[in-house]
Amino acid sequence: MEPLSSQAKLDWVIDALAMEVAEPSSGPLSRRLYLGLRERIQAGRLAPGSRLPSSRRLARELCLGRNTVLAALEQLVAEGFLETRPGAGTFVVDLPQLAGASSAPGAASEQALAPAGEAPETRDVTLSSRGTRLLGYSPCSDVRPGVLTPGLPALDRFPQALWQRLMRRHLHRAPTEWLGYQTQGGVPALREALCDYLRLSRSVRCRPEQILIVQGAQQGFELITRLLTDPGDRVWVEEPGYGGAKACFEAAGLELQAVPVDDEGLRVTADLPAPRLIQVTPSHQYPSGVTMTLGRRLALLETAEKHGAWIVEDDYDSEFRYGQGPIAALQGLDNDGRVLYVGTFSKVLYPGLRLGYVVLPEALVDACRRANARLHREGQYVVQSALAEFIAAGHFSRHVRRMRDCYRDRQARLRDALAPAVRAGLELSEGQAGMHLVAWLDDHATEAALVDRGLYHGIGLSPLSTYYLAPPGRPGLVLGYAGASEEEIDRAGGWLCREWLALRAERGASSMTKAATEPGARA
Amino acid sequence: MEPLSSQAKLDWVIDALAMEVAEPSSGPLSRRLYLGLRERIQAGRLAPGSRLPSSRRLARELCLGRNTVLAALEQLVAEGFLETRPGAGTFVVDLPQLAGASSAPGAASEQALAPAGEAPETRDVTLSSRGTRLLGYSPCSDVRPGVLTPGLPALDRFPQALWQRLMRRHLHRAPTEWLGYQTQGGVPALREALCDYLRLSRSVRCRPEQILIVQGAQQGFELITRLLTDPGDRVWVEEPGYGGAKACFEAAGLELQAVPVDDEGLRVTADLPAPRLIQVTPSHQYPSGVTMTLGRRLALLETAEKHGAWIVEDDYDSEFRYGQGPIAALQGLDNDGRVLYVGTFSKVLYPGLRLGYVVLPEALVDACRRANARLHREGQYVVQSALAEFIAAGHFSRHVRRMRDCYRDRQARLRDALAPAVRAGLELSEGQAGMHLVAWLDDHATEAALVDRGLYHGIGLSPLSTYYLAPPGRPGLVLGYAGASEEEIDRAGGWLCREWLALRAERGASSMTKAATEPGARA
CB contact under 8 A, A335 and B222: no
Q: Which residues of chain A from 68 to 127 reach within 8 Å of chain B, CB to CB?
A: 74-75, 78-81, 93, 95, 97-98, 112-114, 116-125, 127
Q: Which of A374, A380, A485 to mutate to test the interface with B (most CBs of B within 10 A)?
A: A374
Identity of the residue in A113, A168, A232 whose CB atom sits nearest the CB atom of B168: A168
pLDDT of residue A201: 81
Question: Does B162 contact A at CB distance below 8 Å?
Answer: no
Q: How far apart are the C-alpha atoms of A360 and B48, rounded to whole Å? A: 30
Nearest CA in chain B to A247: B375
Nearest-CA distance A459 → chain B (Å):
16
Q: Is A408 on the interface with B (CB under 8 A)?
A: no
Residue A23 is predicted with a pLDDT of: 54
pLDDT of residue B516: 42
Q: Given B119, B135, B323, which is nearest A210 (Cβ)?
A: B119
Nearest CA in chain B to A110: B335
Q: Which tens digit of pLDDT belongs to each residue from A179-201? A: 988 889 999 999 999 999 998 78
Determine the residue among A298, A307, A311, A346 to mutate to test chain B binding: the one whose Cβ has the most chain B Cβ atoms within 10 Å.
Answer: A298
| DSSP string covering A502-520 | HHHHHH-GGGGSHHHHGGG
Res. A173: pLDDT tops 80 = yes
DSSP B511: G
CB contact (8 A) between residue B181 and residue A79: no
Q: Answer for the pair B205, B296: CB distance below 8 angstroms, yes or no.
A: no
Within chain B, which residues score under 70 in pLDDT? 1-27, 98-124, 141-143, 324-326, 509-523
Residues in B touching A247 (Cβ below 8 Å): 371, 374-375
Q: What are the chain A neighbours of B483 within 8 Å (beta carbons)?
A: 180
* Partner residue opposite A180 with nearest CB, options B128, B233, B352: B352
Q: What is the DSSP string of A253-296?
A: TPEEEEEEEETTEE---TTSPPPSEEEE--SS-TTT-PPPPHHH
In this complex, the residue of B117, B168, B185 whose CB is nearest that of residue A199 is B117
Residues composing chain A: 523
The band of A324, judged by pLDDT with boundaries at 50, 70 and 90, is low
Residue A474 has pLDDT above 70, yes or no: yes
Residue in chain A lying closest to B350 (CA) = A179
- B198 Cβ neighbours under 8 A, 6+ residues apart: B204, B206, B211, B329, B341, B343, B359
Mean pLDDT of all residues in A367-382: 92
φ, ψ of residue B306 in degrees (nearest 5): -60, -45
Summarize pLDDT for B211-237 with one digit per residue, the tens: 999 999 999 999 999 999 999 999 999
The predicted pLDDT at position A107 comes to 34
CA–CA dist A302, B237 (Å, integer): 43
Strand ranges of the sheet holding A339-344, from the earlier edge strand across to the other edge: A211-214, A356-359, A339-344, A310-314, A277-280, A234-239, A255-262, A265-266
Return the ∠ at Cα A112 (arms to A111 and A113), rounded to 5°: 90
* Tens-digit pLDDT profile for residues A402-423: 999 999 999 999 999 999 999 9
B393: Cβ contacts below 8 Å, ≥ 6 apart? none
pLDDT at B112: 34
Question: Once rounded to an integer, what is the mean pLDDT over residues A225-244?
Answer: 96
Closest CA to B364 of A270, A52, A120: A120
Instruction: Using an 8 Å CB-CB cutoff, list chain A residues near B146.
Output: none
More confident residue, B508 or A311: A311
Q: Any chain B CB within 8 A of the CB of A283?
A: no
pLDDT higher than threshold 70 for residue A487: yes
Residue A113 pLDDT grade (very low, low, confident, very high; cuts 50, 70, 90)? very low
B124·A363 Cβ contact <8 A: yes
For residue B376, give how far its alpha carbon lies from the nearest alpha carbon of chain A (Å): 6
